[in-house]
Structures are given as C-alpha cells and as structure tokens.
Chain A
Amino acid sequence: MDFFIGHYNYWVVVFLMMVGLYTVISRGNLIKKIIGLSMFQVSVFFLYISMGTVEGGAAPIIAEGVKVYSNPLPHVLILTAIVVGVATTALALALVVRIKESYGTIEEDEIHELDHSL
C-alpha cells in the first residue's frame, strides 16, 4: 500500500505519455500529431517535477521560518524545456500551414498519395 501511494503518480504520468505517443503514431491529421507531441512533452515535465518534490517542503524561494525546500534543479531544467517546446511547436505549425498551401490537404495519407503520383 505504501508502495502504491508512493508510485501511482509515476504510473499516471506513464499513461499520459503513452496516450500522447499513441496520438502521434496512429492518427493521420498533422495538427493532431502536433497536439499529441505537446501532450507527450508535458507529461515528461511531470515526471521530472514529481521526482524533485519533497514531502512537507515549500517552493524553493528563501523565506523566514521554512526549513525544508523542494529541489530547485528540475525546475530550472523544465523551465528551459517548456520554452524550447513552444518554439518547436510554433515552427511545426508554420510548416503545417505551408504544407496545406502546397498540397491542399493536411492528412498524411493524402499527402503520400500526392507525392507518389507526381
């Protein structure tokens, strides 16, 4: 029971990761793939932040009367990762707009057909 309470967090995070991965590899619409990739990224951030929390700890900002702080290093890493993630998503969406303008569709199967028939 202790083991379950200590670990269910990680299992839900793995479930979210797998849902994101399934969206990327099994759906054909390009915008849905990008959303699945974003979901995968956010669940990876959860994994890191949950490994950095300390029970009964406070946010890592020095204040009076606080003795236990959470680990500040995963916060730094994830802050950088979030900003890089949004830069990648913006670039992917710009590519989707250009693909729509030159192929006329954003479904992966139809793009394959158009490519093979040219």
Chain B
Amino acid sequence: MKPNLILHVVAKFLIPLIIVFALYVQFHGDFGPGGGFQAGVIFSAALILYALVFGLDAAEKIIPSHILRILASLGLVIYAGVGVATLLLGGNYLDYNTLGSTQIGGQHLGILLVELGVGITVAAVMLIIFFAFAGRGRA
C-alpha cells in the first residue's frame, strides 16, 4: 500500500466539491453571505490542497505560472473596464444604472461583473503567492 493512499483518495473526492462550493459562493453572493473575495480564496484553497497532496509540479501543470499572471491582471481589467463601459454609455464612472434597460437590471449586471473580476484576481493572486513560497526552496 502506498504511504499516501488515504490522502490521495480523500483529496480526489474533496477537491471537486470545494471548487463547486467556490462557484456557488461567487454567484449566490447576492442572496446569501458570500461574494468575490470569499469565492476566490476558497477556489485557491482547492488548488493549494491539490499541490500539497500531489506535488507542486503536478499543480503547475494544471495552471502554469504565466496563465496565473494573466488571470490576475484580467480581474482588475474587468473591474476597471466596467467603469469605463459605463462612462462610454453616458453615465458616471461605475454608475451601473446605464448598463441595463431598467435601473435594477443594470445594477444586477454591474454587481455580477464586478464580483467576477474580484473573484478572478483574488484566486490568481493567492495561487501566485503560494507557488512563489513553495517553489523557493528547490534549487
């Protein structure tokens, strides 16, 4: 029996559940506790668990470092881009009323996009920091 058999089996069972939970928290942040930050941190926790159990090389094959750097900037660009889009549509910066045909529709769309940007950036940055710490000791 391999020494890490229990860890491998339990991790393979838990990691998809954690990712689904992170997506649930992201998109139901309007109706219950949750939102972008919590979802980003939980998503990165799933991948950190994968890196701890299966090794750092296996985790870096799933998400290479250069894609993580692009994702980190992408979230911030989405957030600022929503503001610029509202400017172009005639309102103030980050004025969500102009995004939809009704005020409530525009607010919903604006909050959804903004939380998505926040979640993507937080998840990518937490993973960047963890991979930087974990990869430092190896010569």
A61 vs B136: C-alpha distance in the bound complex, in angstroms?
43
- Assuming the contacts A61-B32, A83-B122, asked whether A94 and B37 have C-beta atoms less than 8 A apart, the reply is no
Assess whether A61 is in contact with B33, with CB atoms less than 8 Å apart: yes
Q: Which of A61-102 contact B (CB under 8 A)?
A: 61, 79, 83, 90, 93-94, 97
In terms of DSSP, what is the predominant structure of the interface of chain B? Answer: helix
Cα–Cα, bound, A27→B31 (Å): 45
Inter-subunit contact A97/B133 (CB<8 Å): yes
When the two chains form the complex, which single residue of B32, B33, B122, B136 contacts A97, counting CB atoms closer than 8 Å? B136
Beyond A79-B37, A83-B122, whether A94 also contacts B132 by CB under 8 A is: yes
| A8-52 at interface with B (beta carbon < 8 Å) | none
Complex Cα distance A52/B82, Å? 32
Nearest B residue (CB) for A75: B33
| Least CB distance, B8 to chain A, in whole angstroms | 29
Whether a CB of chain A sits under 8 angstroms from the CB of B129 is yes
Q: Which residue of B lies closest to A60 (CB)?
A: B33
Selected from B33, B132, B133, B136, the residue in CB contact (under 8 A) with A59 is: B33
Number of A-B contacts (CB under 8 A): 14
| Chain B: interface size category | under 10
**How far apart are the CA atoms of A79 and B35 in the complex, in Å?**
11
Chain A residue total in the interface (Cβ 8 A): 8
The residue that A90 contacts in the complex, of B31, B33, B129, with Cβ under 8 A, is B129
Give Cα A79 to B122, complex, Å.
13
Distance in Å from the Cβ of B32 to the closest Cβ of chain A? 7
Kindly state the separation between the CA atoms of A94 and B132 in the bound complex, as whole angstroms: 9
The CA of A39 and the CA of B123, in the complex, are separated in Å by 24
The smallest C-beta distance from A97 to any residue of chain B, in angstroms, reads 7
B133: A residues at CB distance < 8 A: 93-94, 97
A79 partner residues in chain B, CB cutoff 8 A: 37
Q: Which residues of A contact B37 (CB under 8 A)?
A: 79, 83
A residues neighboring B (CB under 8 Å):
59, 61, 79, 83, 90, 93-94, 97
| Closest 10 pairs between A and B when the two form their complex, measured CB to CB | A90-B129, A83-B37, A97-B136, A61-B32, A79-B37, A61-B33, A59-B33, A83-B122, A94-B132, A97-B133
Residues in chain B within 8 A of chain A (CB atoms): 31-33, 37, 122, 129, 132-133, 136
Can you list 14 A-B pairs, Cβ within 8 angstroms, ordered by A? A59-B33, A61-B31, A61-B32, A61-B33, A79-B37, A83-B37, A83-B122, A90-B129, A93-B133, A94-B129, A94-B132, A94-B133, A97-B133, A97-B136
